[in-house]
Amino acid sequence: MIPIFLAQLAKERRNPLLIILFIVASVGATVFFTDGTKAPTTIAIFSEGENAQTIEEKWEPLLNEQGDIRFVITDSETAREDVQQGRSDLAVKLLEHDYQLITSSNLPTIQYMDQHVRKVFEKEAFIEAATSNSNDPTALRIEMEEKLDSPVLKMDVTSINGNELSSYNMGTQLMFAFTLLVAMFIIGFRVNNVLKDKVYGLWDRMILSPVSKTGMYTGYISYAFFIGFVQTFIVLLVFKYILNYDLGNRLDLLVVIIAFFTFSMVSVATLLTGLLRKPEHFYAIYPSVIPMIPLVSGAYMMPGTITNPILTFVGDLFPLSHAMDAILDVVMYDATWQDIIQPLVLMALIGVIAMGIGINLVERRS
């Protein structure tokens, strides 16, 4: 085992460029794609009919009065076309006393937007109803707005332990998603060394040496685990101590989750290696399959976005979905060991089954 491990490590030392590129890719993709998550959400609003301009001028300042959502008056044709073409998830058609949502999807974020708009319309309807019979509607409106902005009773929402509820950070989720995606690539390419060395005849020469076949497999697999784990851990340290990302207070739990994920992903790569005959086939198929796993697992989307049972089942067959569940629970909800036992067990189960089948297939093709 150790000679095989050291031989693979020597190859890496002679040409470390690939590992460096993967580390840079993990950090660069996260910074590039999550930078936009900090910008305010922009929603197109429009009205149609004779009083369209008046209605737009009335509701635009009211909608933008509170919250981090920015409502922009847009031409009706442009707003509808943006939704139809997928450039925008939502547009709002304004009526005099009501509104309509123009959308082509049912994302959880749309419900949040609907709640914000409904709250504004209900508040305005309440004020208009109260001031309709007043002798001085302007003064009454000002007084009611002050009362509504400073209510007598306020409700504070806290967690069970009394702390403030943590807001969901989509940038942190994307950071882990891209980091694990890059780790899956580097793990697969290193596991493929088994197939490459077998095809090139290196295994035939090693079998004549004192190294046992079990030691040969263990050397390749342990090195793939080592390089995938170290690369992922280095990236997380960069995000935590250099880029100042909030990774929670339990780095030890994150290390354990990464270890289970790495083992499970090494096993999945071994299974795919056993299904193929040449390393060239692996290089053609593996990079095409791996990018689809985060999509099916929902790693790039808000929780609850994927509700299709078939997609959910397929996503649960891969360790990424379980790793993301455990990581986000630790980082955002301060989960403990008991809370992450289930995803750890599922990743270990996937790893054991895939490793057993993968090595069996590799041996049958020998």
Cα–Cα dist 344/210, whole Å: 36
DSSP per-residue string spanning 124-177:
HHHHHHHHTT-SSHHHHHHHHHHHHHS-SS----B-TTSPBPPPP-HHHHHHHH
* pLDDT of 38: 46
What digits encode the pLDDT tens for the residues 223-264? Answer: 889 988 988 898 888 888 888 877 878 888 999 999 999 999
CB atoms within 10 A of CB 306: 16
Calculate what percentage of the chain has a pLDDT beyond 90: 13
Two structure tokens written together for 343: 């995803």
* CA–CA distances in Å: residue 171 to residues 103, 245, 299: 24, 9, 11
* pLDDT of 366: 60
* pLDDT of 344: 94
pLDDT score of 212 more than 50:
yes
Listed in sequence order, the residues at least 6 apart from 294 whose beta carbon sits closer than 8 Å to its beta carbon are 177, 180, 181, 300, 320
* pLDDT of 39: 45
* pLDDT of 37: 46
Per-residue pLDDT band at 342 (split at 50, 70, 90): very high
What digits encode the pLDDT tens for the residues 49-78? Answer: 888 888 888 888 888 887 667 889 998 889
pLDDT score of 130 more than 50:
yes
Listed in sequence order, the residues at least 6 apart from 116 whose beta carbon sits closer than 8 Å to its beta carbon are 63, 67, 69
* pLDDT of 308: 83
Model-wide pTM > 0.85: no
Q: What is the mean pLDDT of residues 1-13?
A: 73
CATH of domain 42-149: 3.40.190
Nearest Cα to Cα of residue 270 among 365, 361, 179: 361
Cα–Cα dist 42/57, whole Å: 17
Cα–Cα dist 75/326, whole Å: 44
Single-letter code of the amino acid located at 179 = T
pLDDT score of 40 more than 60:
no
Cα–Cα dist 99/113, whole Å: 12
The more confidently predicted of residues 330 and 138 is: 330
What digits encode the pLDDT tens for the residues 80-97? Answer: 888 888 788 888 998 888
CB burial of residue 353 (10 Å; 0-12, 13-18, 19+): middle
| Beta-bridge partner residues of 103 | 90
| Beta-bridge partner residues of 94 | 99
**Structural contact between residues 95 and 50, judged by C-beta atoms closer than 8 angstroms:** no
pLDDT score of 120 more than 70:
yes
pLDDT score of 348 more than 90:
yes
What digits encode the pLDDT tens for the residues 279-315? Answer: 888 888 888 888 898 888 888 887 777 778 888 898 8
pLDDT score of 345 more than 90:
yes
Per-residue pLDDT band at 166 (split at 50, 70, 90): low
| Beta-bridge partner residues of 90 | 103
The residue ranges of every structural domain in the chain are 2-35+169-364, 42-149
* pLDDT of 262: 94
